[in-house]
């Protein structure tokens, strides 16, 4: 769509299509209908005034949500032009469908005792939960699975480490990938522990209208059962007119931390590509540069990093804004929450770009070996600590004098240094066996 204001609905539309089922305007309307219908059906099991609703009637009522269409959403949007209230338009739509089913005497129990936020603050959590379970977590899982494969494939591949950008004790590429796997696993576990909660309690959270209308019914138990059993969410017990959003804020912060870890990963892979530790598979037809035909740019990692950045900016605004509301409610949460699909969209694009990049990298072991061979000074740490073990006097200083500022440290100069040490021959042999390629610790 060349006229789209957002790249999510333009350039990147094909990459985030599956999220439209959860975060589009049509999806929001549909989820509101689902909440209203399920609530009415719950009332049918509770109120004697609804005993006349038969099993076949209930099937017809369920079809209002199960067969909900784009045309239905358009009808509701047209009604909204008159009501200037989105949830009221949904209520009127359902009432019209009830009349078509011959249930006109029951229409006033649609939206009974509710405020619009009872619908919104259950619809949005349902949308977010669905998007997480069906789209976001599978996409993140694909990235994690690829990282597991790469960590196993590169388990024994030694590389020269870089701390502060300088040559440091060698490691393996497989272990470096495991660092990210462990970080992701921990954050995913923490995120999965977050209860996605819903607000369902009437105009100011106290179920006032319910209690005054039917004082003998335990409406708190009703609300808990409805939210937990019918909607598979968790109900906040004490709220104002709106949800306090603390759990959603925690979820957005958790996703932001996961994205930050993957930004770190994308930058490392970008750097390894720039160091020639990774080559990239050439994709037929792709152009790396408009001016330099030889280039294969790391655009997938760059694209991922950029989209993670946009996503995190919005996630952090949502988590910082939503839990704050003046007294029993102001409207700022409503306009902000309508953007909830934006960070999920950019996150999904980033996951897909990152996975594409990971699938294109090919390890360049010859360059890694070359760098290791050019940096024999890194074994000085190993020699120093063996000398410490043997009680050698000032081993650190001895190695420092040999290596610091000396650009000519080679296998031979290390061997010469060892040969002049006043230690037993078997200790010298132990130190001579150490190379930049095998001094990698546990991997």
Residues belonging to the active site: 164, 289
Q: Which helix (H) or strand (E) holds 169?
A: strand 166-172
DSSP lists the bridge partners of residue 184 as none
Range list of β-strands (E), 305-385 = 361-363
Residues 6+ apart with CB under 8 A from 390: 423, 427
DSSP lists the bridge partners of residue 235 as 198
CA dist list (Å): 77 to 70, 127, 193: 11, 19, 37
Distance CA 164, CA 220 (A): 58
Contact assessment for residue 409 and residue 436, using Cβ atoms and an 8 Å cutoff: no
Distance CA 280, CA 177 (A): 18
How would you classify the pairing of strands 166-172 and 158-163? antiparallel
Distance CA 272, CA 259 (A): 20
Q: Which of 330, 436, 325 is nearest to 377 (CA)?
A: 436
Distance CA 319, CA 250 (A): 7
Distance CA 104, CA 328 (A): 34
Residue 410 three-state SS: coil
Contact assessment for residue 278 and residue 361, using Cβ atoms and an 8 Å cutoff: yes
Q: Which of 29, 22, 14, 26 is nearest to 340 (CA)?
A: 22
Distance CA 333, CA 363 (A): 48
Backbone φ and ψ of 232, nearest 5°: 60, 40
For the chain, the C-alpha Rg in angstroms (whole number) is 31
DSSP lists the bridge partners of residue 158 as 172
């Amino acid at each position: 769509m060349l006229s789209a204001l957002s790249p999510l609905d333009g350039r990147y539309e094909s990459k985030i299509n599956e999220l439209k089922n959860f975060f589009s305007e049509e999806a929001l309307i549909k989820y509101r209908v689902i909440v209203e219908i399920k609530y009415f059906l719950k009332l049918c099991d509770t109120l004697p005034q609804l005993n006349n609703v038969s099993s076949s009637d209930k099937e017809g009522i369920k079809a209002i949500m199960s067969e909900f269409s784009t045309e239905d959403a358009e009808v509701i949007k047209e009604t909204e032009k008159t009501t200037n209230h989105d949830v009221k338009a949904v209520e009127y739509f359902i009432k019209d469908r009830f009349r078509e089913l011959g249930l006109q005497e029951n229409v006033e129990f649609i939206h009974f005792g509710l405020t619009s936020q009872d619908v919104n603050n259950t619809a949005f959590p349902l949308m977010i939960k669905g998007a997480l379970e069906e789209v976001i977590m599978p996409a993140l899982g694909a990235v994690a699975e690829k990282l597991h494969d790469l960590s196993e494939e590169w388990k024994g591949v030694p590389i020269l480490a870089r701390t502060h950008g300088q040559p440091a004790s060698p490691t393996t590429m497989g272990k470096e990938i495991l660092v990210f796997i462990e970080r992701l696993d921990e954050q995913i576990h923490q995120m999965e522990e977050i209860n996605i909660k819903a607000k369902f309690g009437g105009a100011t959270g106290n179920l006032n209208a319910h209690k005054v209308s039917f004082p003998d019914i335990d409406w708190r138990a009703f609300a808990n059962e409805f939210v937990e059993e019918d909607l598979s969410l968790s109900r906040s017990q004490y709220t104002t007119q709106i949800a306090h959003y603390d759990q959603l804020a925690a979820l957005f912060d958790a996703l932001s931390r996961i994205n930050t870890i993957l930004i770190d990963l994308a930058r490392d892979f970008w750097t390894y590509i720039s160091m020639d530790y990774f080559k990239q598979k050439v994709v037929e037809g792709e152009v790396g540069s408009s001016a330099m035909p030889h280039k294969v740019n790391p655009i997938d990692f760059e694209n991922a990093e950029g989209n993670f950045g946009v996503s995190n900016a919005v996630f952090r605004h949502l988590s910082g804004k939503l839990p704050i509301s003046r007294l029993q409610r102001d409207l700022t949460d409503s306009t902000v929450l309508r953007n909830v699909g934006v960070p999920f969209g950019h996150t999904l694009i980033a996951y897909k770009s990152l996975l594409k990049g990971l699938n294109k990298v090919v390890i360049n072991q010859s360059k890694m070996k070359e760098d290791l061979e050019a940096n024999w000074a890194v074994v000085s740490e190993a020699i120093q600590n063996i000398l410490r073990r043997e009680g050698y006097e000032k081993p650190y200083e001895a190695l420092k004098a040999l290596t610091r500022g000396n650009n000519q440290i080679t296998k031979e100069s290390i061997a010469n240094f060892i040969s002049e040490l006043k230690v037993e021959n078997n200790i010298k042999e132990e130190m001579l066996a150490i190379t930049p390629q095998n001094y990698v610790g546990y991997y």
